[in-house]
Amino acid sequence: MKKIMMIVAIIIATLSSCTKEDITCNPTTCGAIVNDGITDGCYWLEIENDCSGNKKKFCFDQSVWMNAYVGTNFCVTGVQPW
């Protein structure tokens, strides 16, 4: 019984010592929409990258923009991770 308790304690200690920084993140083109707007005919969404935390604005057509809401996750195709 003592061996089982020791093994469980080691596993718990190992798992609790992991932090978010320890996780390797693959490059991504997805993230949370943090802002939106219309400027000079550009229907833009500002997206915060899931991995890097960087924010970038992208222009979309009106139909995409109308169905994308701040706070939701969104992936951009055809772009390099930012």
Task: Please report, for the domain that includes residue 38, its CATH number.
Answer: 2.40.50
Total domains in the chain come to 1
Exposure string for 31-50, b = 16+ CB within 10 A, e = fewer: bebeebeeeeeebbbbbbbb
Q: Which of 3, 8, 48, 4 is nearest to 29 (CA)?
A: 48
pTM: 0.68
Q: Is the pLDDT of residue 5 over 60?
A: no
Q: Is the pLDDT of residue 70 over 90?
A: yes
Q: Is the pLDDT higher at 24 or at 68?
A: 68
Taking the CA atoms of residue 59, residue 64, residue 66 and residue 67 in that order, the dihedral angle to the nearest 10 degrees is -130
Domain membership flag for residue 30: yes
For position 45, what pLDDT does the model report? 98
Q: Is the pLDDT of residue 33 over 70?
A: yes
For position 15, what pLDDT does the model report? 52
Domain membership flag for residue 69: yes
Q: Is the pLDDT of residue 7 over 80?
A: no
The phi-psi region of residue 25 (left if phi > 0; otherwise alpha if psi is between -120 and 50; otherwise beta) is beta
